[in-house]
Structure 1
């Protein structure tokens, strides 16, 4: 009887142990460890112009990438982005994530263009941005050369475009195109295209040590009317790229405008040609002045004799024009024509 009790008691202990082991989970290993807890997942990112390139390492492939934290893609390249700072996120196969920051710089910020404008020519200069550059006056047709020649007198927007398709602009005005800058003294003169010729639309007023005269000897009149010169001084007075017109060139101008009185009406101030020939007189050989509001006389480059040279005359009330000869020592005005 005692032995049976011991056997029963031992069996109970074994059963209790088995039940105890069963209640502790038996073969259950417990919750799985967090795969992201000690992950070596990392992401690096670089920016080039308006693009970002992200590269991931560690973790479990495949990777996905995002620059807004919600929209992911399978490759690490993001293109045509706005200039600003971005947070780049990589997510691996275990949904682990890693982030880094990268800034997309404004590659267009320092691109600029300037224009040197005169004599129906536009010369563009680009700075900043990324070469090579292209240039346009209409925003549509681009060229690689910096010079626009024989440009019609109108308002334009000069555009430069660089290798990254960044653009910058500057205004070009018709009035700028219709000017001549005399680099010798910084004076700027209006110019006008008549037929195939380009003329100064103001009288020359370059300083000269000798043979330069102001009407009535008043210096301020040179600023108002332009200066008068002897024929000798007139030979070397023209700015670079321009010259004293020949008789043939004066004849061509007159013919282009209809000849004699018809041309005269177009050549005086307010006439349709834009020549703006003000009747501002002349200096005579005896150093007196005459003809204000009645006549203006311009030198031609041709000699008539050892003492005389050709000139072009606009008469009072635009009645006529005339080619004549004058003493080379007289003081007459200069209208240069472009080479």
Structure 2
């Protein structure tokens, strides 16, 4: 009986090793069958006990199409299924969105409140609703919703390359908050980028709606400019 017990234990151990090896073979197998072209798979983890330790093996659960991946990306950024609207879960405000390549851009200026009516043009809350809020560069760097960010200079350069696609009446309005007053608000809109070039300044973009022109400048970090947030979808 003791010999039978030893043989039985060896048989159980051999079976466990065989299962572990075969599992690895099956995981590698689909590649040889042409399944290496899968875009992406979600995985589930299975625990196996091997020599007293838990061994984790990842197994494909299902393939995801490009459309499904895109839908998941929109959902993760709180964008509607049609890709047109962002909902900021911090305050429930909504913003129009446009998809450009693998990025989503806000089509309205951010209006998330970080302080007082001083963030508004002429300190009028009505202008905050109309144009969005002014932010110092420090405020702008942390003002975007989760999963979104302040665009850097390169992202702004890409965004404005095809100027026929720009919403000039939307971009070129609201001015800016200057040292002792406000920039002209009827025909200009000023926006922060995340990029810093010179000391105590950051790169900004000015859009002029009447002239359909763009100025790229370096502004004091304390100046009040608008924010357009951008999200990576891939």
> Please, what TM-score do these two structures have when normalized by structure 2?
0.62
2:168–2:209 contact (8 Å) kept in structure 1:
no
Alpha-carbon shift at residue 318 of structure 1 (Å): 4.1
Change (3 A) 1:195 1:144: closer
TM-superposed deviation, 1:248: 0.7
Deviation of 1:149 (Å):
3.7
**Structure 1 gap ranges (5+):** 1-142, 152-171, 258-262, 271-275
Name the CA distance, whole Å, in 2 between partners of 1:301 and 1:229.
12
SS at match of 2:187: coil
1:203 — aligned with what? 109
Change (3 A) 1:180 1:280: same
| Alpha-carbon distance in 1 for matches of 2:118, 2:105 | 21
Q: Give, in whole Å, the separation in 1 of the partners of 2:116 and 2:167.
A: 29
8 Å contact kept, 2:120–2:128: yes
Q: Pick the structure with more helix per residue.
A: 2
Partner of 1:329: helix, strand, or coil? coil
Aligned equivalents of 1:296, 1:187: Cα separation in 2: 21
Q: Which has the higher contact order (CA 8 A, sep 6+)?
A: 2
**Gap runs ≥5 in structure 2:** 1-61, 72-79
Of 59, 68, 73, 1:148 maps to 68
Contact 2:168 2:208 in 1 (8 A): no
Structure with the greater alpha carbon radius of gyration: 1
CA–CA separation in structure 1 for the residues paired with 2:173 and 2:69? 33
| Number of residue pairs the alignment of both structures matches | 161
8 A contact 1:212–1:229 mirrored in 2: no
Asked if structure 2 preserves the Cα contact closer than 8 Å seen for 1:211 and 1:229, the reply is: no
Pair 1:302-2:195 in alignment? yes
1:248 to 149, 154, 174: 154
Contact 1:243/1:337, CA 8 A, preserved across alignment: yes
Listed as ranges, the matches of 1:68-79 within 5 Å are none
Which one of the candidate residues 314, 322, 328 is aligned to 2:207?
Answer: 314
Shift of 1:319: 2.7
Structure 1 segment 90-101 matched on structure 2, within 5 A: none
Change (3 A) 1:205 1:225: same
